[in-house]
């Protein structure tokens, strides 16, 4: 599916104009929505999420997506948000949207590796694309078309709907000095990062966000990665793990997804389909900006108010994990044609964009540090 042909230019322009008009006349968009609703059929959708209700960044991002859809549609499409566990468990969001139990879902694609392994690549790959780079791949490098092809057999249309940016490496109850410290390490780490940890000798554990703190505090796990300073502070992980490691090699720029049931989307008139698409892209941009600002504030608080000890992973550990990553990806692609095509597209974009990133932002950041 060509993203730029998903809806007509006229419908996109009309929906964008609606958002601008609503935003200008009413902060909530309520008055504008009520007036516009009289002109067309009304729809009510449910959105199930993998996050605790109103959780900073992720849960609030789902709320914002629902709000934007309501405003863009002039009140004709209302979306009610359910936090993880309220309507379905966090790890059943995909199935709920596929079955039509809910018209929308808000989660991240690596949770579905057991159903469709290639889905993980559209969230993040260890040592892979940054948030800015993965948006380039999805929107202008063929990634989104492949993403939708991967989900099509399940009756789901995915939309990028947020990004956390580069995450932290996680909280550990012991220092990591060499690969020997990875052996037997029980760590909450989902997706491809978990698969790489397992190949390196560790034990990955997939735990919903609401349970991470307890698992780490009670010693059920030895380490946990969640997101970054903002979200980690909200979960109180600083009081459960002794050392806070960086960088987030396992999630270099993690796309959050809005999943829409195919039949529900097709049942909408064209302008409301445009409202869903534009709202998702607006939240995709907004969430990254919000994470960037709040991670900076939270990191300062963690260090100054809670005495958090930052640690950088040893260079030889990072080098070995990167080797394992490429070995693993190639082996996975060898037995899965769709995975192979997705990986080929991802790698081709990676190889094309990294030279530019290296001489632009990376070099500039290095110069800033020296200055």
Tell me the per-residue pLDDT of 312-341, one tens digit each, with 9 for 90 and over: 999 999 999 999 999 999 999 998 999 999
Q: Given a cut of 70, is residue 80 above it in pLDDT?
A: yes
Please give the average per-residue pLDDT across 202-216, as a whole number. 92
Same fold, 9-162+254-292 and 170-252+308-345: yes
Please check the confidence at residue 19 and state whether its pLDDT lies above 80.
no
Average pLDDT (206-230) is 94
Residue 32 has pLDDT above 70, yes or no: no
What is the crossing angle of helices 131-140 and 337-357, to 10°?
A: 120
Q: What is the pLDDT of residues 244-285, one digit of tens each?
A: 999 999 999 999 999 999 999 999 999 999 999 999 999 999
What average pLDDT does this structure show over 230-257? Answer: 96
Q: Look at residue 35 in the predicted model and tell me its pLDDT.
A: 41
pLDDT digits 0-9 by tens, 46-66: 999 999 999 999 999 999 999
Helix, strand or coil, per DSSP, at residue 242: coil
Report pLDDT for 39. Answer: 63
Tens of pLDDT, residue by residue over 64-79, are 999 999 999 999 999 9
- The answer to pTM > 0.85 is yes
Buried-state track 90-99, b at ≥16 Cβ within 10 A, e below 16: bbbbbbbbbe
Mean pLDDT of 158-178: 97
Q: Where are the domains of the chain?
A: 9-162+254-292, 170-252+308-345
Smallest Cα–Cα separation from 255: which of 368, 125, 152, 64?
Answer: 125
Considering the domain delimited by 170-252+308-345, tell me its CATH architecture: 3-Layer(aba) Sandwich (3.40)
Q: How many residues does the chain have?
A: 371
Mean pLDDT of 340-367: 97
Which residues pair with residue 371 across a beta bridge?
A: none
- pLDDT, residue 185, reads 98
Domain 9-162+254-292 - what CATH class?
alpha beta
Average pLDDT for 286-292: 97
CA dist 173 and 325 (Å) reads 24
Mean pLDDT of the chain: 91
pLDDT value of residue 370: 87
Q: Are 171 and 229 in contact (CB under 8 A)?
A: no
Residue 147 pLDDT greater than 70, yes or no = yes
């Amino acid at each position: 599916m060509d993203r730029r042909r998903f809806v007509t230019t006229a419908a996109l322009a009309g929906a964008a104009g609606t958002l601008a008009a609503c935003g200008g006349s009413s902060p909530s968009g309520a008055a504008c929505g009520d007036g516009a609703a009289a002109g067309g059929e009304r729809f009510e959708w449910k959105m199930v999420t993998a996050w605790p209700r109103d959780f900073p960044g992720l849960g609030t991002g789902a709320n914002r997506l629902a709000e934007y859809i309501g405003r863009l549609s002039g009140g004709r499409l209302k979306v009610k948000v359910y936090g993880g566990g309220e309507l379905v468990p966090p790890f059943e969001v995909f199935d709920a949207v596929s079955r039509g139990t809910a018209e929308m879902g808000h989660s991240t694609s690596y949770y579905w590796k057991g159903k469709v392994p290639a889905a993980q690549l559209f969230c993040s790959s260890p040592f892979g694309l940054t948030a800015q780079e993965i948006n380039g791949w999805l929107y202008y490098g063929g990634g989104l078309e492949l993403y939708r092809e991967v989900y099509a057999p399940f009756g789901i249309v995915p939309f990028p709907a947020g990004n956390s940016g580069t995450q932290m490496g996680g909280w550990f109850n012991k220092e990591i000095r060499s690969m020997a410290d990875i052996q037997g390490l029980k760590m909450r780490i989902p997706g491809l990062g978990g698969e790489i940890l397992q190949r390196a000798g560790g034990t990955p554990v997939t735990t919903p966000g609401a349970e991470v703190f307890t698992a780490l505090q009670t010693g059920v796990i030895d380490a946990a990665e969640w997101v970054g300073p903002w979200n980690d502070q909200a979960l109180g992980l600083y009081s459960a793990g002794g050392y806070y490691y960086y960088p987030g090699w396992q999630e270099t720029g993690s796309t959050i997804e809005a999943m829409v049931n195919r039949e529900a989307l097709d049942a909408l008139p064209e302008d409301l389909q445009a409202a869903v698409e534009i709202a998702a892209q607006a939240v995709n941009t907004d969430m990254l900006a919000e994470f960037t600002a709040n991670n900076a504030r939270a990191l300062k608080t963690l260090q100054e108010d809670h005495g958090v000890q930052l640690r950088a992973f040893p260079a030889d550990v990072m080098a070995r994990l990167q080797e394992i990553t490429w070995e693993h990806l190639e082996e996975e692609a060898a037995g899965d044609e769709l995975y192979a095509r997705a990986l080929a597209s991802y790698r081709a974009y990676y190889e094309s964009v990294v030279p530019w990133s290296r001489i632009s932002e990376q070099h500039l950041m290095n110069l800033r540090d020296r200055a």
